[in-house]
Structure 1
C-alpha cells in the first residue's frame, strides 16, 4: 500500500491529538486524590499505551510524508 501526503498528515494529526489529550489526562490524574491504587495503575497503563501509539503513528506519518515528498520530486 502506498501512502500519500494526505495520509501522512492524518497520521501526524492523530499522533499530535493523542499527545495533547493524554498530556492533559496526565495532569488530571496527578491532581486527583483519594483513589485506590488500581485506579492509578490502570490509568497509567492507558496513558503509556496511548503515548506509544502516538509515537508509532507519528513515526509512520513522518516516514510516509518523506516518502511522498521524495516520490513527488523524483522524475518519472
Structure 2
C-alpha cells in the first residue's frame, strides 16, 4: 500500500496529539494524591502504551512523508 503525503500528515498529527495529551495526563497523574497503587500502575501502563503508539505512528508518518516526497520529485 502506498501512502500519500496527506496520509503521512494525518499520522504525524495523531502522533503529536497523543504526545501532547498524554504529557498533560502525566502531569495530572502526578498531581493526584491518595489513590490506590493499582490506579497509578494502570494509568502508568496506559501512558507508556499510548506514547509507544505515538512513536510508532510518528515513525510511519515520517517514512511515508519521505517516500511521498521522493516519489513526487522523481520523474515518472
Q: Normalised by the size of structure 2, how large is the TM-score?
A: 1.00
Counterpart residue number, 2:56: 56
Tell me how far 1:29 sits from its aligned partner: 0.2
The corresponding residue for 1:15 is 15
Structure 1 runs, 4 residues or longer, greater than 2 Å off: none
> What runs of 5+ residues in structure 1 fail to find an aligned partner?
none
Instruction: Give a deviation string over 1:34-61, Cα, whole Å, max 9, x none.
Output: 0000000000000000000000000000
1:72 aligns to 2:72 (yes or no): yes
Unaligned segments of structure 2, at least 5 residues: none
Q: Please give the TM-score of this superposition, normalised by the length of structure 1.
A: 1.00
Aligned residues: 76
Tell me by how many angstroms 1:30 deviates.
0.2
